[in-house]
Amino acid sequence: MSVTRADVLAAYEAILQRPPESEAAYAMHLGAADRMALGRALMASPEFRARLPASSPMQHYSGYTAEDLAVLAAFPPGPRYGTPGFTTNFLGVRTRIAFVNAFAPQDGQVEPVPLPEGSGLAETVEWVATLRAVLEARRSFRLLELGAGYGPWMSNCAAACGHRGIADVRAYGVEADAGHLGFMTQHMQDNAIPPAQHVLLHGVVGATDGIARWAAHADPAAQYGGRPRRAEDPGQAAPLPMLGIAGLLGREPLWDLVHIDIQGDEGEVCQAGIEAMGRSVRRVVVGTHSRVQDGLVMAVFHAHGWVLEHEKPTQMRWRPGIASLEAMAWMDGTQAWRNPRLS
């Protein structure tokens, strides 16, 4: 796809946060092979690199390289103006402020391209890993988002597919919290994702099918760290179907991406599903929630011959008297794996 004058302007504003300095700059970049090459050139410029963190790699671990940022540059920036009551990202996806209390300061704003550290939703490494799956999709795209919350990666991937001209899209979202499931339904409507392109499932993601105990939250916009109650846990909880990973994967013959964010059960679920994922999944992005889970997930995929494309460990603050390591995490980790047998 040839680069247009509008592409050059949009790339400058998204990456360098200014318009091109001259007609000569337009002319030079109009010769780029495609949008990705244009973005790669701007990200290699001294001006852009000066905006990146100046600390040593030993002190600042991003999980991605400057070259990886070409993935973000392949997508044209979204609208310049936001909508009251929503935050809008660079893909044009709108999210109601009411879904996440922490989004309140972003009311009516448009987020820039999520670099160098990310966006209100996720760090840059998770954006790069997820959108790489869209870039490498062919004529269709299938996503399974486990622990979907309000469905942000469903909407982001659908929007990214629209930018790439991929019309055959189906995204599945599995979520245990009824309040979040309601948010997800609204979020699909807000972003004009038709029913034929999404499937919403109410249940707990598990290693096998069964029944779990789940406690509802009084304010779902304030709580996104829920997990099933164990038998010894205090408090009220209602029974909820547990949906086994193998059965979920069996809903489609081939998945472009499985995105997992299930608050501390990721190691067990990945171990249970690794054989099925090896047969039917091209890429997996996993949010990890403790250093133990970092290691469990790493060991599972490494042992089965997957290729690690990105990783950033869980960040934690140790505190005495806290029962679980997951409760000490203040920033999720990210691992992105590619299946060499299907990619």
Q: What is the pLDDT of residues 277-320, one digit of tens each?
A: 999 999 999 999 998 999 999 999 999 999 999 999 988 888 88
| Count of helix runs (H) and strand runs (E) in the chain | 11, 14
Residue found under tokens 């963190």: 53
The model's pLDDT over 54-99, given as tens digits with 9 standing for 90+, comes to 555 544 678 888 788 889 989 887 788 999 999 999 999 999 999 9
Task: Report the candidate in 119, 114, 117 with the shortest Cα–Cα distance to residue 63.
Answer: 117
Tell me the residue type at 15: I
Reported pTM:
0.85
Q: What mean pLDDT comes out for the span 107-134?
A: 92
Angle at 12 between CA 37 and CA 40, to 5 degrees: 20
SS3 of 185, please? helix
d(CA 292, CA 296): 6
User: How is residue 43 written in tokens?
Assistant: 């990200």
Structural domains in the chain plus CATH codes: 5-73 (no CATH), 123-338 (3.40.50.150)
Whether residue 66 contacts residue 43, with contact meaning beta carbons closer than 8 Å, is answered with yes
User: How is residue 246 written in tokens?
Assistant: 């193998």
The answer, yes or no, to whether residue 6 has pLDDT greater than 80, is yes
Q: In 33-90, which residue ranges form alpha helices assigned H by DSSP? A: 35-43, 46-49, 70-73
Whether residue 62 contacts residue 78, with contact meaning beta carbons closer than 8 Å, is answered with no
Whether residue 164 contacts residue 137, with contact meaning beta carbons closer than 8 Å, is answered with yes
- Burial of residue 165 (CB within 10 Å: 0-12, 13-18, 19+) is exposed
Mean residue pLDDT across the chain: 91
Of 189-203, 228-242, 284-298, the poorest mean pLDDT is in 228-242
**Phi and psi based region of residue 165 (left: phi greater than 0; alpha: psi -120 to 50; beta: remaining):** left
